[in-house]
Amino acid sequence: MHLSQACNDHPRVVDNSPRLRPPEGGWAAWYLRDEDDVGEGTEQGITVRTLLSALRELARERGWARTLVAGDQFFAWVEHEPLVRISPDVYLLDDPPAQPYPGMWRTWLPGQAAPRFAVEVVSEDWAKDYVHAPRKYEQLGTRELVVFDPEAGRRRGRVALQLFRRDPDGALVRLAAGDAPVHSRELDAWLVVQREPGGARLRIARDPAGRELVPTTEERALALEAQLRAQAQLREQASAVLQAREATIQARDATIDELRATVAALNATLQAREST
């Protein structure tokens, strides 16, 4: 299902307050202990680091000075059940408290809000990202959730990209599921799936075709370095042209001097003949 531009015309959600409803089996079904938050795989790590770097560049461009771009920290939202929590791979948190930041965000505490935007990169335990994550983020209070599955092309029944956003009633609903680019309202940018030899990648772009990607910090540095090299080459070429012109002028001046000397010699010869 492709997310049409019309999705961006939905009014802003008025009520984003979490609706605390335990899952089937009680809150314990959603417990996430430290040992349960297993390490990321290689492909997942590459995707997460790329997204974080590009998001930081986008935040710098947009002047989001009061927005924290981070990932892999716990968010808990049920005060009497602190193990009911989730750890976004990537998130945006507006107006965070002063550093040092807490080891776990507790949204019932003053100054500790839910992230407005979150990305989950599907891991080996794909069911938790497909089934549990959207329900958790709905209660957490996140306005927009992206679920990216880099293994979708190799696994039946799975999709590469899902976008969830609050509807006018405050429910977090799925608006897109598939390979097609989706527009993020929170980023005011597009999320595009790129198929590469090493696997699928999720990138942030300024256009739905993904031709104008938001660069990572490394990509921006490499582009700047290439630009500086190109400028240096142009300066060298311009200097070479100027040197060639100066050499041409000097040769011309030398020729003129020789001609003047020849004319002077001829005049001297003529004067000598006239005087005899």
Q: How confident is the model over 158-182, as pLDDT tens digits?
A: 899 999 999 999 999 999 999 999 9
Instruction: Give the pLDDT of residue 10.
Output: 35
- pTM score: 0.75
How many Å apart are CA 210 and CA 215, to the nearest integer?
A: 12
Instruction: Give the pLDDT of residue 135.
Output: 94
123 touches 38 (CB < 8 A): yes
DSSP letters spanning 173-227: EEEEEESS-EEETTTTEEEEEEEETTEEEEEEESSTTSSSBPPPHHHHHHHHHHH
Mean pLDDT across 178-187: 95
pLDDT tens column, 108-160: 999 999 999 999 999 877 878 898 999 999 999 999 999 999 888 777 788 99
Instruction: Give the pLDDT of residue 22.
Output: 87
